[in-house]
Structure 1
Amino acid sequence: MSDPSVLGSAVADPAPTPASSDAPDRARSLASDAWHDLRRRPLFLISVALIAFLLVLSAFPQLFTSVDPSAGDLARSRQPPSAQAWFGYDLLGRDVYARTIYGTRVSIVVGVLATTFTVLLGGTLGMLAGYHGGWVDNLVSRLTDVVFGLPFVLGAIVILSSFRESIGEGAVGITALVVLTMAALSWPVSMRITRSAAIAARDQDYVRAARALGAGPGRVIWRHMLPNCLAPVLVYATIALGAFIGIEATLSFLGIGLREPVVSWGVMISEARDYLRVAPFLLLFPAAFLAVTVLAFVMLGDAVREAFDPKGR
């Protein structure tokens, strides 16, 4: 749709130049151009719809079930799905459907927090390394290489095993420890992405102009470099969120992640692994929710990456 101001100028000037007719296209920013492209992508719309449903599920689980996920009855142990329990009952006679619904909150919260801490830590170090260069860049890069060389599962086992006893078995403490562990072992990817974007932005004319006008490093980074480095970090964060949800389930399955009384998909899958042959529904439903959630965030990340990539349009 044409801009009214452009139409008004066209009426006043019967012979507009070609440059003035192209002004709205040139004035469109990368973010607005990407958003305009995203709204036409079915992949983006489907993933957003799935994520919105999952967010409502996690925020208001009582709208979908009135059953207490922790209430059990051994007389109903491992009963298959029925009209009374759509997903059946687990080993302790607890409603699998209710536990799956309530498990959405913990899984998504862990993924969001782990992604936030990872992006903040890696993004801050990457921005400082890319802007200052020199010994700061060398120090951060060598630290990144050290963390990159540490296998994720091995590092998680060491950290979680070492600090679990000191924080006790409280749900909040264990969840916080799992989140911090994932962030501490995953920030190098965010750091490298931000560093590359910061190095590219550091040599641009608008950064040099800001320095020439006397702007300090903090202002240059916050007002000029950061807005132009957000696109690749946003793409990484979107994909990483789904990956962190899967990582939480993996750690819980290995017995070093979340545990009872926390209700999460990973905990449910870990509890069901010994009864796969006799009661496969115990693993099927939480695993299906986990797979759909990870797929939704990966689809969203792919759509955002293609929209922000000028070569993809």
Structure 2
Amino acid sequence: MSDRPVEHYVAPVDPADAIEVDKIKLGDRRSNLWLDAWRDLRRRPLFYVAVTIVLIVSTAALFPSLFTDVDPARADLSFSNDGPIDGHPLGFTRQGYDVYARIVYGASTSLSVGLFVVLITAVIGIPMGALAAFYGGWIDSLLSRVGDIFFAIPYFLAAIVVMSVLSAHRNVFVIALAIGGFAWASLARILRAEVLQVKNLEYVMASEAVGRSKFSTLLRHVLPNSLTPVIVYLTIALGAAITAEATLSFLG
């Protein structure tokens, strides 16, 4: 028997093929994660209750005429403070407005304000928190101090002041800007804390080691893996914004 070592031939692997395989595996993993989440939600009765409520409110906001044919702007003092009657299930206000009709038609305004507030909060808060945490140094100090200034101002009190100044230009966007323009600091703090943890993980350092720029690493790897608390916060902020809008409306 010969003592000559056996030579093994390994076929070269095309890097493009390896990347495609990684993409397929990653895609399967992502799809499995979404599928697992959907399976878990389907087992929860409260999920169906929540979806039903959201669909009803959204439909009422988009198509209020499907829920009532009463004009919400029509007032009849002869029905002042009357209770529920046929066609008016919630009765009337002191001025004679139909309560149910005003609730249905008001859903559109409330939902619009809530969505705009969430959008404004995200547009300002996400870049502020992400840039401050990822770059650090003087950028972190500057953006954090700006956030502290807005965080120290009660956003509801600031919204009242803004609405008083812009009383001649009141609309959905102005109301949303008055609320969201001072409510983003909390989101920036939450995202900053999350990015500080994620940016020290191995895959982030590996991305920088292969020559990817810091900003590209932030967008492709750090930010997508830091959005979980952001999504949770924004869902809560939607309800808080609608409550704030209703309070501002009550205060006039």
TM > 0.5: yes
Partner of 2:248: 251
Aligned match of 2:214: 217
User: What residue identity is the alignment partner of 1:135?
Assistant: W
**Where in structure 2 are the equivalents of 1:126-205 lying within 5 Å?**
126-165=129-168, 167=169, 173-205=170-202
Q: Tell whether 2:88 aligns with 1:91.
A: no
2: CA distance between counterparts of 1:63 and 1:33?
36
Give the C-alpha shift of residue 45 in structure 1.
2.9
Whole-Å separation in 2 of the counterparts to 1:80 and 1:110: 30
Q: For residue 207 of structure 1, what is the amino acid of its counterpart?
A: V
- 1:22-45 residue CA offsets vs partner (Å, 9 max, x unmatched): x9xx95676655444333333333
Alpha-carbon separation, structure 1, partners of 2:89 and 2:50: 25
Which residue identity lines up with residue 230 of structure 2 in the other structure?
Answer: V
Mapped to 1, the partners of 2:130 and 2:65 lie a distance apart of 42
Q: Quote the offset at 1:217 in angstroms.
A: 3.1
Q: CA deviation at 1:149?
A: 1.4
Matched, 1:232 2:229: yes
Amino acid at match of 2:115: V
1:157 & 1:178 partners in 2: Cα distance? Answer: 10
Distance 1:36 1:230, change over 3 A: farther
Question: C-alpha separation between the residues in 2 aligned to 1:139 and 1:230?
Answer: 23
Assess if the C-alpha contact under 8 Å between 1:164 and 1:174 holds in 2: no
Percent identical among aligned pairs is 41
Runs (5+) with no aligned partner, structure 1: 1-22, 168-172, 256-313
Q: What is the letter of the counterpart of residue 136 of structure 1?
A: I
Q: 1:62-93: per-residue Cα shift (whole Å, max 9, x none)?
A: 11111221122233333221013111222333
Work out the CA distance in 2 between the residues paired with 1:35 and 1:189.
30
Q: Distance in 2 between matches of 1:219 and 1:209?
A: 13
Q: CA RMSD in A?
A: 2.3
Between 1 and 2, higher relative CO (CA 8 Å, sep ≥ 6) is seen in: 1
TM-score when normalising by structure 2? 0.81
Partner letter of residue 216 of structure 1? S
Match of 2:77 in 1: 74
Count of residue pairs brought into register by the alignment: 226
TM score, norm. by length of structure 1: 0.66
Larger Rg: 2
Q: How does 1:40-79 map to 2 (within 5 A)?
A: 40-79=43-82
Equivalent AA in structure 2 for residue 200 of structure 1: Q
- For the Cα contact (< 8 Å) 1:73–1:92, is it kept in 2? yes
Equivalent position amino acid for 1:224 in 2 = H
Please list, as runs of the form range in 1=range in 2, the aligned pairs for 1:275-294 lying within 5 A after superposition. none
User: Could you give the per-residue CA deviations for residues 98-141 of structure 1, whole angstroms, max 9, x where no partner exists?
Assistant: 11111111111111111121122111111111111111111111
Residue ranges of structure 2 left out of the alignment (5+ in a row): 1-24
Distance 1:192 1:30, change over 3 A: farther
Amino acid at match of 2:223: L
For the 8 Å contact 1:131–1:199, the answer to whether it is kept is yes
2:119 matched residue in structure 1: 116
Q: Which moved more, 1:87-96 or 1:201-210?
A: 87-96
Distance 2:45 2:185 in 1: 32
